Amino acid sequence: MTPSAKSSGSRTTAGRKAGSSVIDTRYYRDNLAAWDERAPAHARSEGYRVARFYEDPAYLSDVVRFDIPLLGDVAGLEGVHLQCHIGTDTVSLVRRGARMTGLDFSGESLAQARALSQETGADIEFVQSDVYDAVDVLGRERFDFVFTGIGALCWLPDVRRWAQVVHDLLRPGGFLFIREGHPMLWAMDESVDDELVAGYPYFEVAQPVTDEHDGSYLPVDTTFRADVSHSWNHGIGETVMALLDTGMALDLLVEHDSCPWEALPGKMVEGDDGEWRLVERPERLALTYTLRAHRID
């Protein structure tokens, strides 16, 4: 999910084929400022339901609750949550019995994550780093599983570079679990009323989509000065092949007609499970996918 709401504001994109994996520092700076400013508001927002973690020691985030049937048992495993944001999913995985490390480049996100973990008694190491530097910071072949998603890959310009990071963090036999916004969802132009229009790139291209908006994808109690962010799409095939080419094997790939936030405002309805679906003919569009792969070399 982009940090901006997609219901208004402006989006621009060029569209040339990716050539370089180097993060343009302006893109990086804008995105970091956007996430740092939004993290405290997200922790206060009803969307992340942080208060529920304090009220109920068994409470799990909607995201992790949805994941359990495909994630399986993680009790006793050592995991890393890449792009952990304010830590709600990281704490949920600890509540499922995993030993977790959380990584994010946003210091303000990690401040919220640390507060949540300390005050709920979840023992988690949180590390501030660009995801592309995760192996240098955390170490090679250290984890039984990598957990990530729900608006993570879209901040990274090069999915192949990310896949290599995932592979290198895992012990042989270790697995990746990602449930992510579907690239067809990211390609939708949400400013078009009543219709689903693919207005943005489906495939990975070097030039990001630039959003200008002072809001969030969640209901928040403030507007933000950091109102520019940049994101990149990655096609399903590009993501799968990036992982296979590192020496990983695909275990499952499941597409869902729902996502855990109102991705296309005005076109969606929330179900009892906390998932949002298209009001009309939800079978038209995959909104998220779950992918699980394991390291074979």
- The binding site for ligand SAM (CB under 6 A) comprises 1, 31, 35, 83, 85-86, 88-89, 104-106, 109, 130-131, 149-152, 155
Nearer to ligand SAM, 106 or 239 (CB): 106
Nearer to ligand SAM, 93 or 131 (CB): 131
Query: What does DSSP assign to residue 188?
Result: B
CB of 83 to ligand SAM, least distance (A): 3
Question: Can you tell me the distance from the alpha carbon of 96 to that of 89, in angstroms, rounded to the nearest whole number?
Answer: 10
Please report, for residues 66, 260, 262, 276, the alpha-carbon distance to residue 272 in angstroms, rounded to integers and kept in the order given. Answer: 12, 11, 14, 9
Nearer to ligand SAM, 46 or 280 (CB): 46
Say if residues 227 and 212 touch (Cβ distance below 8 Å): yes
CB of 296 to ligand SAM, least distance (A): 26
Question: Can you tell me the distance from the alpha carbon of 36 to that of 107, in angstroms, rounded to the nearest whole number?
Answer: 7
Question: Can you tell me the distance from the alpha carbon of 229 to that of 32, in angstroms, rounded to the nearest whole number?
Answer: 9
CB of 81 to ligand SAM, least distance (A): 8
CB of 36 to ligand SAM, least distance (A): 8
Task: Please give the backbone phi and psi of residue 62, each rounded to the nearest 5 degrees, phi first.
Answer: -55, -35
Nearer to ligand SAM, 154 or 278 (CB): 154
CB of 35 to ligand SAM, least distance (A): 4
Name 277's bridge partners: 269
Nearer to ligand SAM, 83 or 246 (CB): 83
CB of 180 to ligand SAM, least distance (A): 9
Query: What does DSSP assign to residue 97?
Result: T
Nearer to ligand SAM, 246 or 288 (CB): 288
Helix (H) or strand (E) segment spanning residue 278? strand 276-278
Rg of the chain over Cα atoms, rounded to whole angstroms, equals 18
Q: Looking at 2-123, which runs of residues are DSSP E strands? A: 10-12, 78-82, 99-104
Which structure tokens are listed for 289? 């996918």
Helix (H) or strand (E) segment spanning residue 40? helix 25-44
Question: Can you tell me the distance from the alpha carbon of 157 to that of 22, in angstroms, rounded to the nearest whole number?
Answer: 8
Nearer to ligand SAM, 86 or 93 (CB): 86
CB of 181 to ligand SAM, least distance (A): 9
